Amino acid sequence: MILKISFIFIAFCFCKKITNASSFEKETVHDFLDHPHFKQVLTDFIDAGHDLIMGKEEKEILMLQIMFKNNEYIHASMHSGMAKFLVEYMNSKNPDLQFQALKAVSKAAPLNVQYAEEIVDEGAVKVLIKNLHSKNPKIVVESFKAIGSIIFKNPELRDQFLKFGLAEHLVEFVLLETPKEVLIQITHIIMLLALNQEKTPISKETVKTLLPAFRDLIHDSNPKIVKDITWALVFLTDGGNKQYNINFKKETVEDLFKLVFDGNYSIRSGAIGVISNIINGSNAQTKMALDNGILKLLPELLMQENDPLKEDPPTIINDSLLILEKLFAASDTQAKAIFDTGIMPLIIYHLARGSQEERHEAAWVVSAATSVGNKTHISKMVDSNVVIPLCKVLIEANSTSANLVEVILKGLNEILKKSEADRIEEIYQSLEKCGGIEIVAFVGEHGNDMTTEFADKILRTFCSAEIEAVCKASAS
């Protein structure tokens, strides 16, 4: 009974504080006290058996611990106007109260964008940036966590932190003596800053500020740090590294190749993703990749299994195929070097049996290969049964991608142009077997000018082979 009275007194004092705030109505406080959330809080408090003699800040710490123990409690607390008090507590001189307030922010902000906005509106940015330089390591770590939770999914809030010098503060902490717990949070925030570059990119100046940290963190011994910093590079170089045009030094490219052999799947995948992004077929970074043995590495990568727990692209195989597509398009000499690795059967394997994304990317690679391959290369591709899986992807692409349809028709046309006359009938039979003749005629009739041109050439090739049905289709 005494414990119950003690708790009611604490709740009364706390809610009286809220009542005195100008932004609250008394009805709100009454609703807060009547909320089933507080009935459970009362039970939790009594069950905990806390000492009756508690100071004001001890009570506030206890209240924060209980009020933010689960999502239901958090929603009830935030709906009742806790944002103002969380910011006040984060600015407290009591490190224990600061710590609990920071933990509460880290729990509340990701649950609802509105909660994060309310916390920032109450002045959290300045307080959190200041807390990064606390002498208490726990406060520093929790402050970074709180910042990460606020900027997650909200570019506008992210930009408010950047205006207060967040990028510069992050780089300042990348030192050998910085505790790993702090570096883990720093790299996680850098990765969050790099997200959503297509819709809400950070400025080039911010990227320029952060780059020195990338070069140091990629060598770290902690896999969490290396994973996050590698994926931050993936996001920043997305789209062929055109947005920021990050100039990778030779040593950095060498480091990325070392990470390809890391035991952590996410790190390997991230490293290949960056390499894929910075290769464009002819730039200096493409040469660096070639010098580091990318051609010898690609067959090995295409034989790797994708992580069954990683459902979202990009995958190691997908990015490896994209690299091949770019390298095939670079030059005839480069294409010959790729053919000489004996990699085509592996590409055709993924064309036939990969995931949909892998099949489609493999189709782009095959088409690029047919454009630069000679008659011997094409003959070997036909021997490896390239036609039927290419035909099946054409049927898939007909309802999903006009660009891919055009690319596949171009590839089929190249195969026919470079095949001996005695193989045309074999190719026709393969296409006929998978329904390819009908789909070629259909897309030729309903596609764009290039699609129509390629389809017509394919059908006329078969017509010249005296296949009557196709002659009629091409004539129509």
pLDDT in tens, 8-35: 444 544 444 444 443 333 343 344 445 5
Residue 189 above 90 pLDDT?
A: yes
Is residue 254 in a domain?
no
* Mean pLDDT, range 393-416, rounded to an integer: 95
* The predicted structure's pLDDT at residue 204: 96
Is residue 146 in a domain?
yes
pLDDT tens for 111-140 read 999 999 999 999 999 999 999 999 999 999
Residue 336 burial (CB count, 10 A)? 13
Q: Any idea what DSSP says for residue 142?
A: H
* The predicted structure's pLDDT at residue 167: 98
Is residue 148 in a domain?
yes
Q: Any idea what DSSP says for residue 201?
A: P
Q: Any idea what DSSP says for residue 35?
A: S
Q: How far is residue 247's CA from residue 251's CA, in Å, rounded to a whole number?
A: 12
* Amino acid identity, position 63: M
Residue 248 burial (CB count, 10 A)? 22
* The predicted structure's pLDDT at residue 52: 46
Residue 428 burial (CB count, 10 A)? 20
3-state secondary structure (DSSP) of residue 456 = helix
Is residue 260 in a domain?
no
CA atoms within 13 A on the CB side of 475: 8
Q: Can you read off the two tokens belonging to residue 298? A: 């690609």
Residue 1 above 80 pLDDT?
A: no
* Percentage of residues of the chain with pLDDT beyond 70: 84
Please give the residue that has the higher pLDDT: either 4 or 407: 407
* Amino acid identity, position 366: V
* The predicted structure's pLDDT at residue 438: 93
Residue 37 above 90 pLDDT?
A: no
Is residue 314 in a domain?
no
CA atoms within 13 A on the CB side of 396: 18
Q: Can you read off the two tokens belonging to residue 113? A: 């964008």
Tally of domains within the chain: 1
CB 104 within 8 A of CB 98: no
Could you tell me where the DSSP H helices lie in 137-249?
Answer: 137-151, 155-163, 166-172, 180-194, 204-217, 223-236
Backbone φ and ψ for 13, nearest 5 degrees, come out as -60, -40
Averaged pLDDT of the chain: 86
Band of pLDDT at residue 7, cut at 50, 70 and 90? very low
Is residue 86 in a domain?
yes
Is residue 301 in a domain?
no
* The predicted structure's pLDDT at residue 65: 85
Sign of CA dihedral 355, 358, 364, 368: negative
Q: Can you read off the two tokens belonging to residue 418? A: 């470079």
Q: How far is residue 329's CA from residue 460's CA, in Å, rounded to a whole number?
A: 27
Q: How far is residue 225's CA from residue 190's CA, in Å, rounded to a whole number?
A: 10
* The predicted structure's pLDDT at residue 137: 95
pLDDT tens for 229-272 read 999 999 999 999 999 999 999 999 999 999 998 778 899 999 99
CB neighbour list of residue 248: distance below 8 Å, 6 or more residues apart: 256, 278, 285, 288
61 lies in which domain range? 1-164
Is residue 99 in a domain?
yes
Angle formed at CA 35 by CA 29 and CA 37, multiple of 5 degrees: 120
* The predicted structure's pLDDT at residue 6: 42
Residue 475 burial (CB count, 10 A)? 9
Give which of 192, 187, 193 is closest to 229, Cα–Cα.
187
Q: What is the CATH number of the domain that holds 75?
A: 1.25.10.10
